[in-house]
Amino acid sequence: DAMVIQNPRYQVTQFGKPVTLSCSQTLNHNVMYWYQQKSSQAPKLLFHYYDKDFNNEADTPDNFQSRRPNTSFCFLDIRSPGLGDAAMYLCATSRDRAAEQFFGPGTRLTVL
Amino acid sequence: AQSVTQPDIHITVSEGASLELRCNYSYGATPYLFWYVQSPGQGLQLLLKYFSGDTLVQGIKGFEAEFKRSQSSFNLRKPSVHWSDAAEYFCAVGSFNNDMRFGAGTRLTVKP
């Protein structure tokens, strides 16, 4: 089945220690998104790639960066995680920006 | 600016009862509308979507939604709720060349 895969499902890191979250897709979609979701809140868009074009939300902290080396993979790098960065991180893909998004299962990040 | 409002933070219904979750949007352009469901610790799953055409949209798991332009609403309904429907429900709005925006979500509890 075509799908969106996120690894790891659970990530524990220490305050200030860089961490990378991974997302891959078999849907061959043009657009890949990263969302941050805190408890009992809506997903908050951090950034997205339309093909190779990177689009950063205005309020995404500089601490968060992303890479998309090819169509299938996208990475979220958190350079110096703080306690406030503990959240669920969701990856999603879509055929284009107007189409429905397909979500991965998420990575739960804990910062100690 | 586009926005989505889900007025009900939490709804409790009895199993077998009917359900309606409210969603209102504010949008300058023709909106694309979506309902997603999220079980605890999981990603979001698309229930249904509206782009154009028939304003009554059928989705998966027995859900439907009706687009009412005059009321700027896209309410989600189900005639008979099952215990497995307990989850968080998110309404989302997008448009051509614009990113999707999510409502704050409505948590559904199903009583036996």
CB contact under 8 A, A48 and B103: no
Is any Cβ of chain A less than 8 angstroms from the Cβ of B94?
yes
pLDDT single digits (tens) A57-111? 889 999 999 999 999 999 999 999 999 999 999 999 999 887 889 999 999 999 9
Which of A34, A44, A101, A107 should one mutate to test binding to chain B, selecting the residue with the greatest count of B CBs within 10 A?
Answer: A101
What is the reported pLDDT for B99? Answer: 77
The residue-averaged pLDDT of B41-49 equals 92
Q: What is the mean pLDDT of residues B30-47?
A: 92
- pLDDT (mean) for B72-85: 97
Single-letter residue type at A56: N
Compute the distance between CA of residue B64 and CA of residue B79 in angstroms, rounded to an integer: 9
User: What's the rounded Cα separation, in Å, for the pair B59 and B32?
Assistant: 15
Distance from CA of B82 to the nearest CA of A (A): 22
Report whether pLDDT(A1) > 70: no
Distance CA B94, CA B69 (A): 15
| pLDDT (0 to 100) of residue B90 | 97
Q: Is the pLDDT of residue B2 over 90?
A: no
pLDDT in the model for residue A33: 96
Does residue B3 register a pLDDT over 90? no
- Read off the pLDDT of residues A15-68 as tens digits, 9 standing for 90 and up: 999 999 999 999 999 999 999 999 888 999 999 999 999 999 889 999 999 999
Q: Which two tokens stand for residue B19?
A: 């359900």
Picking from B60, B106, B103, the residue whose alpha carbon sits closest to that of residue B82 is: B60
